[in-house]
Amino acid sequence: MKYLFLIIALLLGVLSVGTYLSFPGIKSDVPVIYWMTDRNAARDMQVEGFHQWLVDNGHVTDQGKPVVELRLDITNDDVAKKIIQAVSGIGSDVMDTGGSHLQLLQTMGVLEDITELAKEQGFDPSQTYKAMLPEITIEGRQFVFPRNIYVMMLWVNKDLFKQYGISPPPSRWTWDEFEAIGKAFVAKANVGRKPGQRVFFVDFLHLTQMPQSMGLSVFNETLTGCDLGDARFARCLERVRQWTYEDHLLPTADDMNAFNAVEGYGGAATQLFHGGNFAMIQSDLSVLTQLRKFEPMNLDVVELPNGGYPTAIMGARSASIYAGSKHKKLAALFLKYLTSERYNMQLVREADALPPDPRYTQTELFKRPPDYPNEWGVHEKFHEVAMTIANGYARSPFVLSSVVQRETSWFSSLYDNGEIAAMEAAMKIAQAVDRRIADNIARDPKRKVEFDRRIAIQKQIDTYMAAGRKLPAAWILNPFYRET
């Protein structure tokens, strides 16, 4: 099987080379760098903006032209393509990455460590939100800078609440308040409705944010073990199942399929939200790029319900530099461009998530876009949450986040299907993740030294906590526990 994989990888590598060589107009009077990113109408404008920014800031040839030409290498967030091109030696100079992809690509050694370069050129972590630190650094070293930033909140269709005589939810609310308002809403909204026409309270809830809102992270303080084998996470599973299968506040997979089967429904959450099938949807600011295509809605946003500790999930779509690039300093100019007024204000105009530099959220254009008065009072709430209660995802250097997501999804589905109890599911998730950590350490003696050092600290932490003693800040390596 491994030989088959190698053969496939080599063939794909050859095809990648062919694709690369087939780019039109490879020749240029200046060096050309490629940006691997998604297919989006805004990308051409951003490339244009980068070239103009180079001229405006003196990065020009003797003829006054930009010192580098940026071209697009379009991908649909396909990490396999990034890996294949990178290991084949033809990775794009700038690659979109973030989240679990960042961790995977950094582990493979295909991302440039930009820590010193970022400080030198002014795109280090101080140029963006404090909560972004775990999203752009790994073990204290920087590998990306955010292109845009997302904070998850609940978008509210205020007119739908008014239609059914239910008061809209408060800006901050608990699980119990969510349940009470949700039950009242679906009871009134679904009188006489047929299957496929049901109105739901919200499209989904985040199984990362929910335990955080009870003070529980995915990993322990030193990121050496999984903390999800906890009664608090079991309660999260129980609540989501109840709200989905008993109270019908959230749709099941069958419910979503029913929407798709009814003529006129596209199934997309934004369409169903605009059509009145969801009172709320969970998304970030960038959902406005879709909602602006429809008739204006009477909108608001509120925090995700909490289990006692208000929190929000925050992440980024980021840009990295390929470790094998021949033009790293020129690629770094693109990351510097991401801090510029030209780039940030383009995001503000398009409402394409939060701009990477929080200063641009203080502009009148961000707060009150003149063409969209129905959005006034909404945009700044995302900034406020980002500055106060938002947290990045907890990631361990000893296991990929994708492994945690896979194990969580698998055992959660077993619980939803009634095959295991909630507490058993929680414990099995933690045990499965811990096994993967142990396997990874056994295969990598170099990592074992650091792992053992952290395990020793974790034992001290456990002793201190059992005695009710305050922990030294230097011991806490998990950003979530450091903030709480």
Which domain CATH number covers 93?
3.40.190.10
Residue 184 exposed, middle or buried by CB count within 10 Å (0-12, 13-18, 19+): middle
Angstrom distance (rounded) from CA 230 to CA 235: 9
Give yes or no: residues 430 and 284 share one domain: no
In angstroms, what CA-CA distances link 19 with 16, 36, 91, 104, 324?
5, 13, 12, 24, 18
Q: Furthest-apart CA pair in the chain: how many Å?
A: 73
Contacts (Cβ under 8 Å, ≥6 apart) of 411:
420, 425, 426, 428, 429, 432
Angstrom distance (rounded) from CA 115 to CA 188: 55
Pairing outcome for strands 299-302 and 153-157: antiparallel
Give the mean model confidence (pLDDT) for residues 397-408.
95
Give yes or no: residues 168 and 122 share one domain: no
Unique residue bearing structure tokens 């992809």: 101
Q: What is the pLDDT of residues 27-78, one digit of tens each?
A: 789 999 999 998 888 899 999 999 999 999 999 999 999 999 999 998 866 7
Which regions of 259-416 does DSSP assign to beta strands (E)? 278-283, 299-302, 312-321, 390-391
Give 90's pLDDT tier (boundaries 50, 70, 90).
confident
Give the mean model confidence (pLDDT) for residues 424-447.
97
Unique residue bearing structure tokens 């204290």: 140
Task: Give the residue from 131, 94, 138, 50 showing the smallest Cα distance to 323.
Answer: 94
Give the mean model confidence (pLDDT) for residues 291-300.
96
Residue 223 lies in a domain: no
Unique residue bearing structure tokens 């294949």: 84
Residue 222 lies in a domain: no
Give 26's pLDDT tier (boundaries 50, 70, 90).
low
Give yes or no: residues 369 and 439 share one domain: no
Residue 453 lies in a domain: yes
Q: What is the pLDDT of residues 236-258, one digit of tens each?
A: 999 999 999 999 999 998 898 88
Domain count, the chain: 3
Q: Which amino acid is at 203?
A: D
Q: What percent of the chain has pLDDT over 70?
A: 92
Task: Give the residue from 472, 297, 467, 318 showing the smallest Cα distance to 393.
Answer: 318
Q: Is the Cα dihedral 141, 145, 151, 152 positive or negative?
A: negative
Pairing outcome for strands 153-157 and 144-151: unpaired
Angstrom distance (rounded) from CA 349 to CA 347: 5
Give yes or no: residues 201 and 301 share one domain: yes
Give yes or no: residues 82 and 181 share one domain: no
Give yes or no: residues 260 and 346 share one domain: no
Q: What is the pLDDT of residues 316-355, one digit of tens each?
A: 999 999 999 999 999 999 999 999 999 999 999 999 999 9
Residue 8 lies in a domain: yes
Give yes or no: residues 103 and 17 share one domain: yes
Q: What is the pLDDT of residues 150-162, one digit of tens each?
A: 999 999 999 999 9
What does the chain come to in residues? 484
Give yes or no: residues 119 and 172 share one domain: no
Residue 262 confidence (pLDDT) = 55
Give yes or no: residues 99 and 182 share one domain: no
DSSP label at residue 159? H
Residue 468 lies in a domain: yes
Give yes or no: residues 11 and 30 share one domain: yes
Give yes or no: residues 143 and 170 share one domain: no
Q: Where among 262, 278, 313 does a domain terminate?
A: 313
Angstrom distance (rounded) from CA 91 to CA 323: 9
Give 131's pLDDT tier (boundaries 50, 70, 90).
very high
Q: What is the pLDDT of residues 165-197, one digit of tens each?
A: 999 999 999 999 999 999 999 999 999 988 777
Unique residue bearing structure tokens 């990874």: 440
Q: Where among 291, 313, 335 does a domain terminate?
A: 313
Residue 197 confidence (pLDDT) = 78
63 is in which domain, residue-wise?
2-148+316-386
Three-class SS string for 87-154? HCCCCCCEEEECHHHHHHHHHCCCECCCHHHHHHHCCCHHHCCHHHHHHHEECCEECEEEEEEEECEE
Give yes or no: residues 321 and 239 share one domain: no
Residue 338 lies in a domain: yes
Q: Where among 248, 283, 313 does a domain terminate?
A: 313
Residue 44 lies in a domain: yes
Residue 11 confidence (pLDDT) = 47
Chain CA centroid to CA 340, Å: 22
Q: What are phi and psi of 105, to 5 degrees?
A: -65, -35
Residue 396 lies in a domain: no
- Please state the pTM of the whole predicted model: 0.90
- 132, 73 contact by CB (below 8 A): no
Unique residue bearing structure tokens 């101080």: 126
